[in-house]
Structures are given as C-alpha cells and as structure tokens.
Amino acid sequence: KGQKPNPLLEARKALPIWPHAQSIRAALKKNNVLVLTGETGSGKSTQVPQFLLSEPWCQKCIAVTQPRRMAAISLARRVAQEMSCPPPGRVPGAKVGYSVRFDNATGPHTRVKFLTEGMLLQEMVRDREMEEYSAIIVDEVHERSVNVDLILGFLKNLLSDLENGRLKKRKNPLKVVVMSATVDVGALVQFFGEGSKESEDTQQTLHSDVSSTLVGTQQNQDISTCYIEGRQYPVQTIYLPEPTQNWVESALIHIFQIHRKEPLPGDILVFLTGREKIEKLEKLVNEYAEGLEDSLPKLLVLPLFSALPQHAQQRIFMPTPHRTRKVILATNVAETSVTVPGVRYVIDCGKSKIKEYRNALGLESLLAKPISKSAADQRKGRAGREAPGKCYRLYTEDGYNGFADRTQPEILRCDLSHALLTMVAAGIGLRDVFSFPFLDPPPRGAIERAVALLHDIGAVTEEAEIANDALTMAKFPLTPALSRVLIEAATPERNCLEDVVDIVSALSTEDIFLNLANEERKKEDAEAARRGFYRRSGDHMTLLAAVQGYLEETSDRKAWCAKHFISHRAMQNVVKVRKQLLELCQRLSLVPNSSSSVDPPTANASPEEHTKRVLQCFARGFMRNIARLMPDGSYQTLVSKQTVAIHPSSVLYGRKTDYLLFTEFVFTNRAWVKGVSAPDVGALE
C-alpha cells in the first residue's frame, strides 16, 4: 500500500541478531524447542518475535516473558514502534501488547504479548494447554527466577503431553524459544531433551559443537540451539586497592574522576543495590555537580530501578544532549534486562539485593549480597558495547576472586509456598510436586516447609489434600498470605472486605508515605501533616485512613498528596490495584452483588470491633508473623522464637505493645519488621 519504511528498520538491521533471522526460522520449522543465547543488546527480545510472526505455524499469539514489569512494558512499546503499529493498549489495532500485574494492555488483535513471568503462570493456571499461543518465548532465563523455573517445568510437561497426544483441546504445535544472555546452554538442552528420543551422547556432542563454533545454528531432532555473537570491545578492569564499606562515597569519587579525566562521548553506568542508595547518590552527585567549573561538560543524572515510572525510564534511551555526560544510577535491571546506550564507563558496587529465605526466622527477606563472577562480568560488559571502555570495581581483585561463579537459582534459596500454590492450582497433585521437572530441584525440606505454610493458611487440609480455597488464592496476583487475608475478610464473621482490599492495595504498591529519611528538615512537617492518619493500632489501619482520605478527596488529589507528604504516584497505583482486586473479588464471588447483598454492612460494628476484625484477617494470613513483647523489652516471634525490632518507618516505632503482627520483614544490620500492628490479644485467638 506504499507504506513508508519504518525509520527504525536500519537500526534493526544493524543488530547482531539480524543475519540469523533465517536460521532461527528454519530451526523452529524443524524443531519445537530452540535455545538461543546472545549477549544483552544483540536484539533477542525485540527481534525474535518479529522474525516468527509470519511463519505458517504462527497463526495465534506469541508470548514473550520478562522477569520485570518494567522490561515487559518498555519492550512492548519499542516493538510496536518498530512494527509501525499503535502503542500497546486495549485498542483493536494494537498488535503488540503487554500484560503485567494490575495492568493489562492487550487487545483482541494482539499478536505479540510481552508479559511478566508471573502473569504467564497465571495464564497457565487458567489454561494448561496454552491454546491462545503459537509460541512462547522465555526470555532472560539466566536470571533463574523461581517463576522461570516453573515455566520451564510446565512447558516441558506440556510439550511431552502434546507429543504423546494427551491433550484434550490443543492440536497445533507449540513452539518454545528459551533465551539467555549466558552461553551456558548445556543444562537447558539437556533439560528439554531428557526423556525424549535423543540419547545423552548426542546432546553432549551438540553442546560442544555450539561452544566450539560459537556461531550458527546447530540442530538435533528435538532441540535447536543458536548462538548470537555479540559486539564486545575490550574493557579495562580497575579494582580498588583496599576493600571499602563506603561504596556510595567511593562511587561518587569515581564519577567525578571519570568526568574530569575522560573525554566525551562516554556515559557512566553505576550499579547500586536499590532505590534508597540510588536516591542518596543522585542527591550527592547533583550537589557536587553544582560546583563544577563552566569549562566542564554538564552531568545528567538518571536513576533506573523497577519502581520508576515509565516516562522516567524512557529517558535513558534518549540521546545524550550536547556537551553533557549521562550518569545512570541503576539496580541490576541494567545488568541484562535493559540495554543502556552510550555507556563507556561502568562503576560496579559488587552487590545486589537478592531474595533469601532465612531458615532460622522462617521468613523471606531481601538482602544486599555480593554478586557472582558472572554477574560482575555482565556488568563490566556493559562498558564495551559501542567502543573500548573501563570498568571500575568498588572491590578488590581478591574480593572478585571470592565471588561465586554464578548466582544461585532463586528456587534454591527462597520460600516456595507461592510456587507450590501455583503448581497445585495448575492441577499438579501435592505428591507429584516432588517429581515435577525442575531444572534444579529444590531441597525436599524446602518443599515440605512450603506445604506446612500452605497448611497454616488453609490452602492444604489436615489430610494433605488441596483445599478449595487454594484455587481461589492462586487466582489472586498476590502472595498466598495476602490472598488468604482477602478470603478471610469476605467471610460473614469478618465482613470487612472493602477495607481490607484498601490496605492490601497499599501494601502491594510502593510506599505511599514519602520517604524523608534523607531530608531532615522536612521530617517534622511531614509528621505533623500525616498525624491525622496515624492510628493507635498501627500501620495497617493507618494505611487505610490515608487511602480513604485520598478517595474522599475529590477536587485536587495531587495537592492533597503534596499537603500530606504522600506520594501521588503511589496513590494512583493503589487506586488502580484496588479497582482490580475488587473486580477480581466479584468475579470469584467473594462479594455478593450489591443488589443481592444480604449481609448487613459493618456499619453496626464499633470502631474498635472493626479494627479488631480487620487485624484478625491479617493474623489469619500471617500467623507466623506474630511476636510477643519480652521482659527485656525486645520482641520475639511466637513460632520461630526470633528477636525482631519495629522498623523506624512504622507508626508503632518506639512503642511497646504486648503482641505485634507484621506483614513485612527486612534484614539489614538486624531483623526489622515493617507493616506492624498491635492487634487486640483476642485477634490472635
């Protein structure tokens, strides 16, 4: 129709993956599984779905999973642009869409759907045969999240059921592409190959072929592999001579040394552990940059972390302005998930936050831990994409040598109750969990612990059978504990679902109270402005009061938020989440239709009684998160007998109460609990 060529076509053609398009198509024509590896930025996530879209076997939708919502959204936008179609949305013309928790931007004609791993798992629970899809692309497999491991296991089962004619509905083939940024494909090839016709020998040969030729597509009867050679210029590594504890300060010094010494162009990418450190360093860099001589180029500081709003994330892709150096302060999302253009200097703090199950506590927490060698090398590689670069490691060479070779898969170190609930809801019997095809099977004890936890919250019965509630719980995009809280709130005895939904919505988004830890001056004003929301019972009812205050404000919510030192963005998210949770409760018949409402509303309960009921719901979901005041003034959890302290962000900080209930746990220098309430003793039953 004489369409103008897409202006991004030239850039696409320049990607390392472009020449492999034909062999990728051929590989999937021949086999159902393709394991594809290639460095970050080689074009895997954006190009592979486009290569496959017009293949004869590809009549339906292509799913591309991402570990992070941020990547799913930004990739969908990019691919829509590249395909000259409308941006992702529910409009009929949108061929490219995304689906992330609480945000579904897909339409009736969506053919390429970027979605988080969690969302794909939820779809698998709804339709085991994945009839909606012609292909499923599992991206960023090297990150080895629990979800990715589950997806791989489900897909392996699905493929073998399909091959053996055990499926009821699905007749068309399902193509699976597994993509990873590291070359270690042996385990994946073996995983999908096991139990098939091929012998181990063939797979061995196949694997060594891949690593010896390093280019091109190798095939055997079942699984194809393809390696995309990335562009990598040499990167010089510079270590610290002595280890440091003050790596934020050290990063600051390095940023300015690079800025003074090194020519433009050459942006700086700094890897930090999380949002807090990023915001701290951002402030410091901006303060110091004010004193730079006019003869020096400007510094443009751009933070990059998952919770950042989309438009702010998009700024990292914009070209650097004239006579300016970009400094991107990132979490490990920039390690492989997002390709930041223009970077020649990397500063690596050598740590990242990882989820870890603390056995002694029986609780999961996020901890800043040393990264692995392979992660450190990925970070370093970011400096050499466009030209030779430098990587400053804020640790010593000995420190590096002490790192583990690879990051341990999450499934070996985290709480499995959510994973288990998903499996159970997808029709896997509790006893069959032990024979589920895991790429790395978790220890038996971890599975047993998860079963016990599910039993606690009523998802598994005394007889180790799956309870009806388990299926309802699995349908919520929430942790099993929070799902339990909602189900409890819907019972006639509690009858407080709407309020509990408000609180759960606030717990499911970023902090609604602006964090003023770095701004001493504003702290007192904020305290005064928010005091009206503070509730004696603790953080949960406080959140409720703030959410309700916001909802009641109808004229200018933005101004209202500013006045109360509340994050407007977070509140907008709360409203969005709340709406979807309420819809879901309706669909799952937890709320009676308003017309047929027979239950009397909670209005006749006294405020104390109401608070008690709400907190009873939380206690039901978080039975293990109850601690008692000890004679020495510390708190000890009832079940695991661990000492915990109330986090300074809690409204109960500094207060004494006989019992406390918490919904979040953070371990830094000590075991802190956040989201704390002091339930009436009666609430503990």
Between 47 and 625, whose beta carbon lies closer to ligand ADP? 47
CB of 499 to ligand ADP, least distance (A): 39
For position 18 contacting ligand ADP by CB under 6 A, the verdict is no
Tokens encoding 660: 């406390």
Choosing from 20, 28, 36, 41, the residue that interacts with ligand ADP (CB under 6 A) is 41
CB of 79 to ligand ADP, least distance (A): 8
CB of 77 to ligand ADP, least distance (A): 6
Q: What is the DSSP letter of 512?
A: S
CB of 442 to ligand ADP, least distance (A): 28
Tokens encoding 404: 């583990």
What is the identity of the amino acid at 453? L
Choosing from 32, 42, 508, 650, the residue that interacts with ligand ADP (CB under 6 A) is 42
Helices (H), 508-657: 520-530, 539-552, 557-563, 568-587, 607-621
The b-or-e profile of 508-533 (16+ CB within 10 A means b, else e) is bbebbbbeeeeeeeeeeebeeebeeb
For position 45 contacting ligand ADP by CB under 6 A, the verdict is yes
Task: Please tell me the total number of residues recorded for the chain in this structure.
Answer: 685
Choosing from 31, 32, 37, 40, the residue that interacts with ligand ADP (CB under 6 A) is 40
Between 17 and 504, whose beta carbon lies closer to ligand ADP? 17
| CB-based contact 36:228 (threshold 8 Å) | yes
Among 271, 269, 339, 267, CA closest to 298: 267
| CB-based contact 303:269 (threshold 8 Å) | no
The percent of the chain in helix, strand and coil, each rounded to the nearest 5, is 45, 20, 40
CB of 404 to ligand ADP, least distance (A): 24
- Tell me phi and psi for residue 347, to 5 degrees: -120, 125
Between 49 and 409, whose beta carbon lies closer to ligand ADP? 49
CB of 51 to ligand ADP, least distance (A): 11
CB of 155 to ligand ADP, least distance (A): 19
Which of the ranges 24-32, 41-49, 302-310, 387-395 carries the binding residues for ligand ADP, by CB under 6 A?
41-49
Sign of CA dihedral 358, 364, 368, 370: positive
Between 315 and 406, whose beta carbon lies closer to ligand ADP? 315
For position 378 contacting ligand ADP by CB under 6 A, the verdict is no
Pairing relationship of beta strands 363-370 and 389-393 according to DSSP bridges: unpaired
Please name the residue that has the structure tokens 């159902």. Answer: 32
For position 49 contacting ligand ADP by CB under 6 A, the verdict is no
- Report the SS3 class of residue 87: coil
Between 74 and 220, whose beta carbon lies closer to ligand ADP? 74
Between 74 and 365, whose beta carbon lies closer to ligand ADP? 74
For position 341 contacting ligand ADP by CB under 6 A, the verdict is yes
Between 78 and 406, whose beta carbon lies closer to ligand ADP? 78
Between 44 and 393, whose beta carbon lies closer to ligand ADP? 44
For position 384 contacting ligand ADP by CB under 6 A, the verdict is no
CB of 339 to ligand ADP, least distance (A): 4
For position 266 contacting ligand ADP by CB under 6 A, the verdict is no
Tokens encoding 457: 């919250």
CB of 309 to ligand ADP, least distance (A): 14
- Work out the number of other CB atoms within 10 angstroms of the CB of residue 39: 22
Between 139 and 410, whose beta carbon lies closer to ligand ADP? 139
What is the footprint of ligand ADP within residues 61-120 (CB under 6 A)? Answer: 74-75, 77-78
For position 38 contacting ligand ADP by CB under 6 A, the verdict is yes
| CB-based contact 481:454 (threshold 8 Å) | no
Q: Cis peptide leading into 234, omega within 30 of 0?
A: no
Which of the ranges 42-50, 290-298, 319-327, 559-567 carries the binding residues for ligand ADP, by CB under 6 A?
42-50
Which distant-in-sequence residues (6+ apart) come within 8 Å of 49 by Cβ? Answer: 62, 64, 79, 112, 135, 137
CB of 230 to ligand ADP, least distance (A): 8
CB of 44 to ligand ADP, least distance (A): 4
CB of 42 to ligand ADP, least distance (A): 4
Between 140 and 664, whose beta carbon lies closer to ligand ADP? 140
CB of 75 to ligand ADP, least distance (A): 6
Between 147 and 339, whose beta carbon lies closer to ligand ADP? 339
Between 15 and 174, whose beta carbon lies closer to ligand ADP? 15
- The number of helix segments (H) and strand segments (E) in the chain equals 25, 22
Cα 494 to Cα 365: distance, rounded to the nearest angstrom: 30
For position 229 contacting ligand ADP by CB under 6 A, the verdict is no
- Report the SS3 class of residue 394: coil
Cα 76 to Cα 508: distance, rounded to the nearest angstrom: 24
Cα 483 to Cα 480: distance, rounded to the nearest angstrom: 5
User: How many residues of this chain interact with ligand ADP, rule: CB under 6 A?
Assistant: 17
Tokens encoding 668: 């830094």
For position 365 contacting ligand ADP by CB under 6 A, the verdict is no
Per-residue contact string for residues 303-322; x = within reach of ligand ADP by CB under 6 A: --------------x-----
Between 161 and 386, whose beta carbon lies closer to ligand ADP? 386
CB of 341 to ligand ADP, least distance (A): 5
Tokens encoding 377: 């090398």
DSSP string across 234-261 = -EEEEE-SS--S-HHHHHHHHHHHHHHH
Among 474, 557, 539, CA closest to 676: 539
Which distant-in-sequence residues (6+ apart) come within 8 Å of 460 by Cβ? Answer: 430, 451, 454, 466, 467, 470
Angle between helix 44-52 and 69-82 (nearest 10)? 50
Which of the ranges 45-53, 197-205, 374-382, 542-550 carries the binding residues for ligand ADP, by CB under 6 A?
45-53
Choosing from 217, 339, 479, 650, the residue that interacts with ligand ADP (CB under 6 A) is 339
| CB-based contact 615:537 (threshold 8 Å) | yes
Binding site for ligand ADP (CB under 6 A): 15, 38, 40-47, 74-75, 77-78, 317, 339, 341
